[in-house]
Amino acid sequence: MKKLSIIIPAYNEEKRIGNTLNNYSSHFEDLGKTAALDYEIIVVINNTSDRTEEIVKSIREKNRRIRYLNFKQGGKGFAVIEGFKEALKGNSDFIGFVDADLATSAEEYAKLFFSIRNHDGAIADRYLPQSRVYPPTTFRRIVVSRIFNFLIRSILQLPYKDTQCGAKIFKRRAVETMLPHLTMSQWAFDVELLCVLKKNNYSIKSAPTVWIDKEYSKINFWKAGPWMFLGIIRLRLLQSPLRQFIRIYDKFIGFIPR
């Protein structure tokens, strides 16, 4: 029987974490009855000031496959990295992460898992023809995301159309390889992760998904955009002969990777 660790980073998620954990618990419990798949859910609470921990504790009483970590430090990348470390302490064959907002349902996440097959991992891709996004993405958001993806593909030579969708799963060996090389906790975390895997010749599949945009899920791209771009430039420097100047670059722009 294979085991999957599902990491859920949670920053002030009291309005959504309960529904997400109930949805994932119910679906994967049912799935375990018909498929040779065991699972655990690791909620990584980070820099939270609301009732997220209290809600997770309550639901954990009903499902002991749920456990959680709580950190004062913030950042999605930081939370996922700590979740990776925790999952690797156990015997999981697959380790992945998903956003806490239930934009990716448990059913879709399970489909992502089963799509891996002979690959080393799978990432949800909202831009494949078979994918569905509800409600339809605004024109402005499409333009911004496509510009960002163009920069990723041209500067970093990554082949993926959607690096930012918050649903990804990898085989254990891929996580073990990437973990020591992950340094970025903010906007470019997903991109760095995929860069490390590409550099080490891991095969990552882009899979179609159904993605439902949730209330309170909006990202201020105008605020985040410059930092996402700077993160891409930093990754390019790390891959180039100029990587010895990365400390000067960090000091100049005040970029803090963790």
Span 72-124, pLDDT tens digits:
987 899 999 999 999 999 999 999 999 999 999 999 999 999 999 999 999 99
d(CA 250, CA 234): 8
Map out the domains of the chain as residue ranges: 2-253
Q: End-to-end alpha-carbon separation of the chain, Å?
A: 36
For residue 167, what are the β-bridge partners? Answer: 98
pLDDT band at 34 (very low <50, low <70, confident <90, very high): confident
- CATH fold for domain 2-253: Spore Coat Polysaccharide Biosynthesis Protein SpsA; Chain A (3.90.550)
257 vs 5, more confident? 5
Q: Which pTM value belongs to this model?
A: 0.87
Mean pLDDT of the chain: 88
Instruction: Reply yes or no on whether the pLDDT at 244 is more than 70.
Output: no
CB 232 within 8 A of CB 152: yes
- Cis status of the peptide bond prior to 180, with omega within 30 of 0: no
Rg (CA), the chain: 18
Strands, E assignment, 150-203: 167-171
CB 47 within 8 A of CB 154: no
CB 119 within 8 A of CB 204: yes
Instruction: Reply yes or no on whether the pLDDT at 180 is more than 90.
Output: yes
**Looking at residue 186, what is its pLDDT?**
65
Cα three-residue angle 213-143-193, rounded to 5 degrees: 70
Q: What is the mean pLDDT of residues 170-196?
A: 89
**Looking at residue 218, what is its pLDDT?**
45
**Looking at residue 257, what is its pLDDT?**
47
